[in-house]
Structure formats: structure tokens, C-alpha cells
Amino acid sequence: MTSNARLQQRLLKHSQHRQTGVALITMLMIFAIITIMTADSTERMGLDIRKTGFYLHNAQANEYALGAESLARQILFDDFEEDAKTSANDHLTELWNSVIIPVEYNGGEFEIVIRDLQSRYNLNNLLDEDGKINPDELIDFNALLSKLSLASNAANNIADWLDNDTTPIGYYSEDTSYLNKTPGYRAANQSIVNSSELLSVAEIDFEAYRILSPLVATLPSMTQININTAPISVLAMISGKLDPEKIVTARELLPDGFTSTQEFLESEMASGAGIDEQRISVNSEYFEVWIKSQFQQQYAYLHSVFYRDSRDGRIVLLGRTFSRPLDSALHNPFTQASSVDIKNDIKADSSDNQQSL
């Protein structure tokens, strides 16, 4: 073999080695890319599985809450049937007023709290059928706010928020004043749907709202105060001549509370107090239900308002929310929101309300 032929053979071998090396590196690169893609895909799949699990568990927790709502509805209907056989009234030692905790079923659980909304003063009682303020109701409401040491104009300002005219009886409490705010808004000039509206009323700040909101309700029709369930502040509104603490003591001694308004009116504590029988009751038709449910690590909170017809026990759902409304932050028996959290919620909620007005 000539030296030239040997050189060509060496060059050929070298070229073959280089090609093998390039092929190996290419294969390794492809393998690395596939490995990276597989790892990324596995991670995404893991995230998708966790997200799907989250949605499924969350949906399941919501279903548990709705199941609990059905149970609460049944408890209220059972109470109606029981009332027909026994005391025919609603009082604090009945089953509906017990906290139902916790009911466990098939990996999930829920808790229920039912509250009587006629234990509170219905703000919409301030309005008469013509959308004007009922002067007698306003006097009593003003008495409640005075006892709570709220601003002297608070009752009139709330009345302006409700009445259908734009002439202020309060202090800077009609459209012309609110439109000068940033952002501007108008008074509702109609019945209140949610007590958080009070935060838009002149001179009702967070502290006033915190004090007032557990004592008021926003019900769609004129309601009476249930003397078996009302707290002292609300009982005091019935008549300035009543001793509300005496009423609470007396009803606690009665196993079934006052069984009729007549029984209460004929008692020594009510004599000479000039009570208007039309304003009190021993029965309730409006209830709110607080529910907390859990499935795996997901929680759901539900607030529902029921009307129970006192004639036939028919129960109607008036409203329900899964979100955390302002009232929830303050009154939800299951949440432990801090004052800072609540104030932040109020700012957000108030801002949302104002923007939507």
C-alpha cells in the first residue's frame, strides 16, 4: 500500500469516528430533551390532579353544605309540626336553637346554627306602605340607638336612607350629600336588602355597625318582635316602661317560654306599659341558617334565610350565599375573623357597594 493510500484510509477511519461521536451526542441530547419534557409533563399532570382534586373536594364540600341546609329546613318544619302538638310558639330551648355539631357522613362533616330573625328589629318596619317613615316606629328605633349610645342623628339618617323622598330629616343624609362623596352614590330610598347597606349611611361607621348589626334584620315584610327570643336591647324597644331584664328572667323560668302574647300582656311585668299587641309575637316566621361544611381539606360556608309560613309550615328559601358577606365576617359563628380582617372586608364591600350604586 502506498503512503497516499494509507493516509486516505486513516482519514476515512477518523471521519467514521467523528460521525459516531456526533450521533452519540445527538442521541444524548434527544434523550435529555425527552427526559425534560417527561418531567415537565409529569409535574403538570401532578398539578392537574391536585387542581382537579381541589375542585372535586370543594364541590363536595358545597354539596354537604346544601345537604345541611335541607336538614335545617327539615328541623324548622319539624318544629312547626311539634308546635302544633305542644306550645305553639318559638322559644330558645327548642331544638332549632341548638347548634347541630358536627354531623359526619362518608368522609365529610357539617355544622348548623339556626337563628331567629324576629328576635331582632326589622329595619324595614320603619317604612309604611307608601314608602314613608312610620313616626311611631322611628321613635322606638331612635330609643334603641340611644340606648346603644350611637350618634344622635343615626336613626334619622337611616330613615332618610329608607324613605322614598330626598328631603333630609337627618344630617347630610340624602342624595345631595352622598353625591358629593368620592365616589358619589345615592340613598337607597327603598327597603333595605342587606344590613351592610348601613355602612353607606351618614354617621354609621364600622363601630356603630358592629354594635347595631346583631340587633337588626332586613326582612321583606312588616314583622313583630318575638318576646321569647329577643335580646334585652330589642325588648326595651317594645315599651320604655318595660324592664327587659325582668322579661328575660321570667321567660327563662317558663319551660316553653311565653305561650301567647296574652299571657305576657296579662303578666305583672307588662301591666301599665302600654304595649301595642300588634308589635309583639311569640312565634317567628323568619330564620337564618349558618352552615360550615368540610370535605377532605376543603371548607364551605353557607348562609341561608328562610321564611316559614305560620299557617301551614311551608318553608321558602329567601336567599342564600356561599361567599363571605360582611355579615358573615361579623356574625358567622364558625369564622374567627380578626378585627383587621373585618375592617378590610368592610372597605372592600363598601367600595363595591358604592361603585354599584
Determine the longest span between alpha carbons in the chain, in angstroms.
139
Nearest-CA neighbor of 217 among 115, 80, 322? 115
What the block records as the C-alpha cell of 40 is: 415537565
Among 78, 83, 109, 111, binds Ca ion (CB under 5 A): 83
189 binds Ca ion (CB under 5 A): yes
90 versus 288: smaller Cβ distance to Ca ion: 90
Q: Which stretch binds Ca ion (CB under 5 A): 31-39, 46-54, 183-191, 219-227?
A: 183-191
Among 60, 65, 75, 79, binds Ca ion (CB under 5 A): 79
CB of 172 to Ca ion, least distance (A): 12
94 versus 285: smaller Cβ distance to Ca ion: 94
- Burial of 155 by CB count in 10 Å (0-12 exposed, 13-18 middle, 19+ buried)? buried
160 binds Ca ion (CB under 5 A): yes
What residue number has its CB nearest to Ca ion?
90
**SS3 call for 169:** coil
| Those residues with Cβ within 8 angstroms of residue 172's Cβ, 6 or more apart along the chain or in another chain | 202
CA distance 333 to 302: 11
160 versus 349: smaller Cβ distance to Ca ion: 160
85 versus 278: smaller Cβ distance to Ca ion: 85
What the block records as the C-alpha cell of 15 is: 471521519
Contact 271, 259 (CB under 8 A): no
Among 69, 137, 140, 163, binds Ca ion (CB under 5 A): 163
DSSP state of 76: H
CB of 103 to Ca ion, least distance (A): 21
223 versus 293: smaller Cβ distance to Ca ion: 223
137 binds Ca ion (CB under 5 A): no
- State the number of binding residues for Ca ion (CB under 5 A): 8
- Burial of 343 by CB count in 10 Å (0-12 exposed, 13-18 middle, 19+ buried)? middle
79 versus 349: smaller Cβ distance to Ca ion: 79
Binding site for Ca ion (CB under 5 A): 79, 83, 90, 94, 160, 163, 187, 189
